[in-house]
């Protein structure tokens, strides 16, 4: 979970994913840094705190890795001058929002590790739940840590396993035996690009191809950004190794039980992405349809809170026959410099990001669709904005069930005492946010968002964790 007081104080009612990963290997020897840049740009929604790129030349000397990392958005950290120095035909990239470890430059990724067998550059999406044990094991054998993130623990264990194995991919597989939790990994070694996904498949990872170039990415929309064709998803528990001979797969870590994060479909992923053969856009349309079936109300307009609420609002409109309308204008240029306002500015923060089209809602009964309510503060302000703009009624519909439990697998759902639904009834929440009515998506309908598949994680709604959660909340910065 994010330890930056600045960010937490400002974004008081938004859920964030930990990060996005991207990897590429051009077998023809062309430089790949700019492709990584465009891939990360397409994954920017998954993390806005920091980003980085590491590249190497597979025909050059082993161990020569060029990297550039920094705090901020992709287009802030990378300039034309930076790319002049990032020469190489294989590389990995990362965008980060911290859920474990502080928001500092030291914790930016990819992590580049120099060790006796050469180099590794690693980018990680997810969150481990046994970091303290893994870190202690390393510390008592002399490891010195440069960061406070679990990704460094993963990198160290892979490096140690590599001393006992014949290949990097085998070392990754052996390290996976020790890891508990969520991880989608992209790893660069001097001559190979490796992708790995935890056996539960919490977070996505896919493979793409562009002519003689292979790509690994958190979402298929990042493949589109670099003109690569989607090949397939990396399967839960799979390790893929890409070298000059193509793609090689190891499924020995796969297991029957899957636990894909359902919130990827509700909120995290871009609507133009396809995760595990399921369209994110269609998932959100279905969520809206279900809300119209289960929580109908007489109204004049259906509107979505940008961006993830828009498709669900369209689904509600399709199912109910009530007109869909655009009621909000979103400021798309809110960068890192904006997320440092004084406490006195918190009240105006939502209005700076969103503004209401008064001519659309004035005198109308409005159904407002949003993806979630965390603490309730943002939802209350948006409802008030609609009513101040002249809406006669505001009926709130949420395209997910109520958040009742924290997440330990790479999503910053906070502890239960900070969740508005944990200690309040739906009716009480309705009063608190000032809505005329309130309805949530039912837990029993979640599987319909992904075509009836039951292999998903809904622990933040139900408390049914696929892995027993840690006895103590270790999602903050772990230090000994």
- Which helix (H) or strand (E) segment is 80 a member of? helix 80-83
d(CA 455, CA 258): 5
d(CA 126, CA 307): 23
User: Which residue is associated with the tokens 């409109």?
Assistant: 317
Locate 312 and state its tokens: 């669900």
CA of residue 288 relative to chain centroid, distance = 22
Using DSSP, state whether 124 is helix, strand or coil: strand
Locate 169 and state its tokens: 């991919």
d(CA 171, CA 188): 13
d(CA 22, CA 207): 10
Catalytic positions are: 19
Contact present, 96 and 53 (Cβ < 8 Å):
no
Strands (E), 129-253: 181-189, 192-197, 206-210, 213-217, 229-233, 239-243, 246-250
Distances (CA, A) of 143 to 160, 182, 341, 480: 11, 23, 39, 13
Contact present, 2 and 107 (Cβ < 8 Å):
no
- Cβ-count burial 319-358 (b if 16+ within 10 Å, e if not): bbebebbebbeeeeeeeeeebeeeeeeeeebbeebbebee
Check the CA dihedral 206-99-13-294 and report its sign.
positive
Locate 132 and state its tokens: 């303290």
């Amino acid at each position: 979970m994010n330890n930056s007081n600045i960010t937490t104080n400002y974004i008081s009612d938004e859920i964030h994913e930990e990060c996005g990963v991207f990897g590429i290997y051009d077998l023809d020897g062309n430089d790949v840094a700019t492709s990584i840049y465009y891939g990360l740009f397409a994954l920017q929604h998954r993390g806005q705190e920091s980003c980085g790129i590491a590249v190497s030349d597979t025909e050059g000397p082993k161990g020569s890795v060029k990297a550039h990392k920094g705090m901020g958005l992709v287009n802030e950290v990378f300039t034309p001058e930076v790319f002049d120095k990032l020469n190489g035909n294989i590389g990995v990239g990362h965008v980060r929002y911290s859920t474990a470890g502080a928001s500092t430059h030291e914790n930016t990724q990819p992590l580049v590790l120099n060790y006796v067998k050469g180099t590794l550059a690693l980018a990680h999406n997810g969150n481990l739940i046994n970091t303290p044990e893994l870190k202690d094991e390393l510390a008592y054998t002399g490891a010195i840590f440069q960061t406070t993130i679990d990704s460094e623990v993963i990198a160290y264990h892979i490096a140690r396993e590599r001393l006992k194995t014949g290949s990097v991919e085998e070392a990754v597989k052996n390290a996976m035996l020790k890891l508990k939790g969520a991880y989608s990994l992209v790893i660069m070694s001097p001559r190979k690009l490796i992708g790995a996904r935890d056996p539960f498949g919490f977070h996505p990872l896919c493979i793409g191809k562009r002519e003689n170039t292979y790509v690994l990415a958190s979402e298929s929309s990042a493949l589109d950004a670099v003109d690569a064709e989607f090949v397939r998803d990396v399967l839960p528990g799979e390790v893929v190794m890409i070298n000059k001979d193509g793609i090689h797969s190891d499924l020995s870590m796969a297991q029957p039980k899957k636990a894909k994060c359902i919130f990827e479909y509700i909120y995290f992923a871009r609507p133009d992405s396809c995760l595990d053969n399921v369209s994110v856009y269609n998932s959100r349309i279905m969520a809206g349809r279900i809300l119209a079936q289960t929580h109908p109300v007489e109204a004049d307009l259906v509107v979505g809170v940008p961006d993830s609420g828009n498709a669900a609002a369209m689904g509600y409109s399709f199912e109910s026959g009530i007109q869909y309308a655009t009621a909000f204008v979103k400021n798309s240029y809110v960068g890192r410099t904006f997320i440092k306002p004084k406490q006195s500015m918190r009240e105006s923060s939502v209005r700076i990001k969103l503004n209401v089209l008064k001519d659309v809602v004035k005198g109308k009964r409005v159904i407002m669709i949003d993806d979630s309510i965390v603490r309730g503060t943002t939802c209350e302000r948006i409802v008030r904005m609609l009513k101040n703009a002249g809406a006669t009624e505001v009926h709130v519909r949420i395209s997910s069930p109520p958040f009742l439990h924290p997440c330990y697998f790479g999503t910053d759902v906070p502890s239960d005492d900070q969740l508005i639904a944990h200690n309040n009834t739906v009716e009480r929440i309705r009063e608190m946010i000032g809505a005329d009515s309130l309805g949530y998506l039912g837990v029993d309908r979640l599987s319909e968002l992904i075509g009836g598949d039951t292999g998903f994680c809904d622990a933040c709604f139900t408390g049914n964790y696929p892995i027993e959660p840690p006895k103590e909340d270790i999602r903050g910065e772990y230090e000994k």
